[in-house]
Chain A
Amino acid sequence: KAGVTQTPRYLIKTRGQQVTLSCSPISGHRSVSWYQQTPGQGLQFLFEYFSETQRNKGNFPGRFSGRQFSNSRSEMNVSTLELGDSALYLCASGEPGTDEAFFGQGTRLTVV
């Protein structure tokens, strides 16, 4: 079974631009969660999608948004990028009842 796939692995953007990151969950998993990892703030929960519906949301500004498609693939979008958005963005997939989240390798976003 293939693991969680995140694309791209690395990304460099300019302040003010927008970016879209993609996450393909493990086949059969309907839950996809997104996390931001920075040296200062650590791992912070962004949002969770389940069967195309946002189920939970963290404390991030509205510039951060996401969606999930019918095949469970998910995208997150950050608009009007700021230098502080530079981070490793991790996606995790899971299925209710399995009690385990499987993480992708992440997308390293650098805002210059």
Chain B
Amino acid sequence: AQSVTQLDSQVPVFEEAPVELRCNYSSSVSVYLFWYVQYPNQGLQLLLKYLSGSTLVESINGFEAEFNKSQTSFHLRKPSVHISDTAEYFCAVRGSSNTGKLIFGQGTTLQVKP
């Protein structure tokens, strides 16, 4: 069985400041790791994913996440946030076997203030 813990339910930050959203997971098997973003009244959009290979993955809008197997973490970071980054962020895991089932963390609300 897998589980995901997002350590912060809300993260307030000023515009142009750096931010880190923390995610830890638990699994007895190899997993794929994902970060999704959800804007109000919308579905989920994939931000980035780790499947294998380089432990540092990046998105097109400046976010990055690093897979740390020893600490079972997949923290999301951005060096300088914008107002438009205000949203809810979900960390998720999926067993590397052929399944679409995702296990999500409880979510972190990122509030970017001007």
- A contacts, CB < 8 Å to B: 4, 31, 33, 35, 42-45, 48, 50, 55-56, 58, 90, 92, 94, 96, 99-106
Contacts and interface: CB of A to CB of B under 8 A. Distances in A.
Judged by DSSP, the binding face of B is: loop
A99 B32 contact: yes
B106 A42 contact: yes
Contact of A31 (B49, B90, B100): B100
Contacts of B99: 48, 55-56
Interface residues of B, number: 21
28 contacts: A31-B100, A33-B100, A33-B102, A35-B102, A42-B105, A43-B102, A43-B104, A43-B107, A44-B104, A48-B99, A48-B101, A50-B100, A55-B99, A55-B100, A56-B99, A56-B100, A56-B101, A90-B44, A92-B44, A94-B100, A99-B32, A100-B46, A101-B46, A101-B102, A103-B43, A103-B44, A103-B45, A105-B42
